[in-house]
Amino acid sequence: MADATGSQHPSRLILFILIAAGGASLLSTDLYAPSLPHLPGYFGTSAETVQLTMALNMAAFAVAQLVWGPLTDRYGRRVVFLIGMAAFLFTAVGAALSQTIGHLLAARILMGASASVEAVIVLAVIGDIYKSEDSAKIYAIYGMIIALVPAVGPIIGGFVFEWFGWQANFILLAAIIAAVLVLAVTRLPETLPVGERVALRIGSVVSGYARLLSLRGFVMVSLTLGLALGAIFAFITEAPFLLIDRHGVATRHYGLYQGVIVTAFFFGSLLSNRIVTRIGVSRLYGFGVAAASVSGLFMLLAVAWGDTPVSLTAAMSVFAFALGPLFASAPVLAFQQAGDQGRGMSAAMLATFEMAGASAGALFVSVAPDGTAWPLAICVAGASALILVSGILGLRATRD
C-alpha cells in the first residue's frame, strides 16, 4: 500500500479530509433547500421548475461519477479530487451570480457534476485503506459525522436566507469549498500506488462497467442504496414546500425538522458501528433491508391520517434510522462482489446507482405535485417495497 496506509495517523487525516469534502458536497443541497419555496417569486417561474434545480443536479451528479471513477484508477485519487473540488468551487460562485432560472439550472447541473468527485473518492479511498468489517465500521463512522451536516445545514441556510438572501448561501458554500481545497492541496496524500493504476482506454472502461453490471450481487446491492436515496431526496426536495408553504413553518425553523431526521440516521449508524463485528456485514445488511422496507409504511400512514410537520418528520425519521445499517454494510458487500481491481470504477458505478436513485426521487415529486404529501408518500413507500425485493436478491447473490 501507499504511505498513506502505513499508519493510523495518515488514515485519520485522510478520513478528516473526506469528511470535510463530503460535508461541502451535502451543503450544496442543504444550505440551499430552505430557499426553494421563495425562488419561484424571485425568478418569476413555477415551483416545479425550481425543483428541477435539485433533480437535475442529482442527475448530473450520477452521470459524472462514471467519468471520475476511471480517471481515479488511471491518475490516482489525489489529482482527480483536486480538479473536481476546484470545479466545484467555481460552480458555487456561478450559482451565486445567477440572474435567471436558466443560469441557476446550468450552475446546479455543473455543480452536481463537479461535486460528485467526492462520492467516488470517499468510496475508493476507504476501500484502498480498510478491509471487510473495518471498512463497514469506517463507513458507519463517516455516516455518523456526515449526518451532522444535514442537521445543521438547513438551519444555517434558513438564517442566511433571511439575513442576506439566497445567493449568500452559495457564497458561504464557496468559502467552505475553498477551505477544503486548501486543506487537500497541503495535506491529502495519494492512496493508490502507481503500480496499482490501470490504463485508461475507452474499450477497457466500457468492458469494466459491463462486467460490473453483469454481477447480480453488485447490481442488487447498489440498487438498494439507490432506492434508499431516492426516498431521502424525494423528501429533501418536497419537504420545504410542504412544511414552509403548506403548513406555515418559518424558513429559519425548517432545519430543525430535518435535524430530527438526521439525528435518527446518526443513531442508526451508531448502532451499526457497535454491532457489525458481532453479526457480520451480511446480517447487518439484511437487518437494514428489513427495517427500511417496514419503515416506509409509516409515511403512508402519516399522510393517510392527515399529515402535519410532526407526523411527516416522525415517519421519515423511522426510515432514516433504518438506513444507518444499510449505508454501513451495502458498500462493503458491493466491493466484495466487484473485486479489488479498478476500485475507482466500482466506486463510480455504486455512487451512480445512488445518485440516479436520488435524482429519480427528486424528479418524481417535482413532476407529480398535487398540493398534498401523497406524491412523497407514494415515492417513499414504493422505494421501501422495492428495497425489500432488491435487498433479498442482493443477499442471495452475495451468498452464492
Residue 89's CATH number: 1.20.1250.20
In a domain, 192, yes or no: no
Domain that holds residue 256: 7-187+208-399
CB 326 within 8 A of CB 224: yes
How far, in whole angstroms, is CA 221 from its chain's centroid? 16
In a domain, 106, yes or no: yes
Where would I find the H helices in 339-373? 343-367
**How many domains is the chain partitioned into structurally?**
1
In a domain, 215, yes or no: yes
In a domain, 129, yes or no: yes
Residue 362 exposure: Cα atoms within 13 Å on the Cβ side: 29
Largest CA distance in the chain: 60
CB 320 within 8 A of CB 261: yes
End-to-end CA distance of the chain: 30
Query: What cell was used for 357?
Result: 436513485
Q: What is the pLDDT of residue 63?
A: 87
d(Cα 310, Cα 307) in Å, to the nearest integer? 8
In a domain, 77, yes or no: yes
Query: What cell was used for 320?
Result: 432514516
Please count the helices (runs of H) and the strands (runs of E) in the chain. Answer: 16, 0
Q: Which backbone phi and psi does 156 adopt, to 5 degrees?
A: -60, -45
d(Cα 282, Cα 204) in Å, to the nearest integer? 31
d(Cα 279, Cα 288) in Å, to the nearest integer? 12
Burial of residue 269, with CB atoms counted within 10 A of its CB: 0-12 exposed, 13-18 middle, 19 or more buried: buried
CB 339 within 8 A of CB 215: no
Query: What cell was used for 160?
Result: 442566511
Q: Is 6 helix (H, G, I), strand (E, B) or coil?
A: coil
pLDDT tens for each residue of the chain, 400 residues long = 344 544 444 567 778 888 888 889 888 887 888 898 899 999 999 988 998 998 898 889 888 988 898 898 889 999 999 999 999 999 999 999 999 999 999 999 999 999 989 878 887 887 777 765 567 777 777 776 766 776 678 888 889 999 999 999 999 999 999 999 999 999 888 888 888 888 788 888 888 889 999 999 999 999 999 999 899 889 988 888 889 888 888 888 888 888 888 889 889 988 988 888 888 889 999 999 999 998 888 999 999 988 899 999 999 999 999 888 998 888 889 988 887 666 778 888 888 898 888 888 988 988 876 778 899 999 999 999 999 999 999 999 987 6
In a domain, 194, yes or no: no
CB atoms inside a 10 Å sphere around CB 369: 16
Q: For the whole model, what pTM was predicted?
A: 0.76
In a domain, 136, yes or no: yes
Cβ-Cβ contacts under 8 Å for 39 (sequence gap 6 or more):
45, 50, 53, 101, 104, 166
Q: What is the pLDDT of residue 351?
A: 82
Burial of residue 178, with CB atoms counted within 10 A of its CB: 0-12 exposed, 13-18 middle, 19 or more buried: middle
d(Cα 296, Cα 310) in Å, to the nearest integer? 16
In a domain, 202, yes or no: no
